[in-house]
Amino acid sequence: MKHVLSAEQYNRESLEQLFELTDDIKKNPTKYAKKLDGKIVAVMFYEPSTRTRMSFQTAILRLGGQYIATENAASNSSGKKGETLQDTVKILQGYADAIVIRHSSDTWPEEAAKIATVPIINGGAGKGEHPTQALLDLYTIREHRKSLDGVKVAILGDLLNGRTIHSLLKLVSLYKNVEVYGLSKECFALPQKYIDMLASRGIQYKKCNNFNDIPKDVDVMYHTRIQSERFEGDFGREEFIINKEILSQFSEHTIVLHPLPRNEEISEDIDNDPRAMYFTQAVNGLYVRMGLFVQAFEDK
Ligand code: NCD
């Protein structure tokens, strides 16, 4: 059974398999139009979402499957009446052939996997992980750069609470000669455990104080929104904003990625710059998620 719980379950080989499948789905979507024929997927999002939820749902429909979903599981499902996520999974697997979940708990994927009899796909776990986002992020970088070895990535924004960052670091560090630069307000610095994880894979994390500390030929600037729903209090606004002037200091090969939604951290004045790839990145999410469903049902 092929769960997608954490970025940790991937290695270079399994990533390449997924990315080649995704390339093929993108090129020949009709070849896959009946892959999920007769399958029903339950989509349970306990936190807000636009891209992740709707691209999962679109992926199911484009593959010929069907989905059951709640618009807002936190208020419309029995979670509101105190049902545990484990009980909900036990019920849903009696109805559906796979379950996609987003929930505010960091640890729900491990708990769900213990009792799951159908594939469970992590659509976001608190401030822990967001593996399918990292897969589409890496896929977008690979489309741009071909080889992921030697890639130089700058991560920006909320490095403390940003689950997309945490999963992306686990994936990107599987490659050789990778460089990782981090630029954030001190209150949103990358937790030590991720710095240690990078070090254990031979990558020295380079903490930056401003845009000048990021090499001008960096391949990717990956910005993120301050995850204000994850903490109490007001830590102010983003200080490091990518705008036309900042981007003009970087190489023509430096792409700008963002999991979206953005707040003020990426200025709209760069949206038409060919290096601004966040909208392309979001479309790639559909194809990567189609690939994940194809794999989930093939490996069964
Ligand atoms: C991200 C998330 O939910 O973690 N969004 C997404 O899935 N594309 C990032 C965010 O909400 O800031």
Per-residue pLDDT tens over the stretch 18-77: 999 999 999 999 999 999 999 999 999 999 999 999 999 999 999 999 999 998 999 999
Which residue's alpha carbon is at the smallest distance from atom 12 of ligand 1?
225
Q: What is the average pLDDT score of the chain?
A: 96
Averaged pLDDT for residues 206-231: 97
Averaged pLDDT for residues 202-229: 97
pLDDT for residue 198 is more than 90: yes
Tell me, using a 6 A CB cutoff, whether residue 103 lines ligand 1. no
Tell me, using a 6 A CB cutoff, whether residue 133 lines ligand 1. yes
Tell me, using a 6 A CB cutoff, whether residue 289 lines ligand 1. no
Ligand 1 geometric centre to CA of 157 (Å): 12
Please report where in the chains the tokens 């469970």 appear, as a residue.
120
Q: Which atom of ligand 1 is nearest to the CA of 224?
A: 12
Ligand 1 pocket test target in 4, 47, 49, 286 with most atoms within 8 Å of CB? 49
Tell me, using a 6 A CB cutoff, whether residue 260 lines ligand 1. yes
Predicted local confidence at residue 71, as pLDDT:
85
Predicted local confidence at residue 79, as pLDDT:
92
Q: What distances in angstroms separate CA 188 from CA 90, 133, 236, one per listed residue?
A: 37, 20, 11
Predicted local confidence at residue 92, as pLDDT:
97
Tell me, using a 6 A CB cutoff, whether residue 284 lines ligand 1. no
User: What is the pTM (predicted TM-score) of this model?
Assistant: 0.97
Which residue's alpha carbon is at the smallest distance from atom 1 of ligand 1?
259
All domains of the chain, ordered by start, with CATH? 7-128+285-298 (3.40.50.1370), 131-281 (3.40.50.1370)
Ligand 1 geometric centre to CA of 102 (Å): 11
Sign of the Cα torsion 241, 247, 250, 256 reads positive
Query: Active-site residues: which are they?
Result: 51-52, 81, 102, 130
Digit-coded pLDDT (tens) for 97-127:
999 999 999 999 999 999 999 999 999 999 9
Please report where in the chains the tokens 């990078």 appear, as a residue.
198
Predicted local confidence at residue 264, as pLDDT:
96
% of the chain beyond a pLDDT of 90: 96
Tell me, using a 6 A CB cutoff, whether residue 130 lines ligand 1. yes
Predicted local confidence at residue 299, as pLDDT:
53
Sign of the Cα torsion 26, 125, 13, 181 reads positive
Chain-centroid distance, C-alpha 92: 24
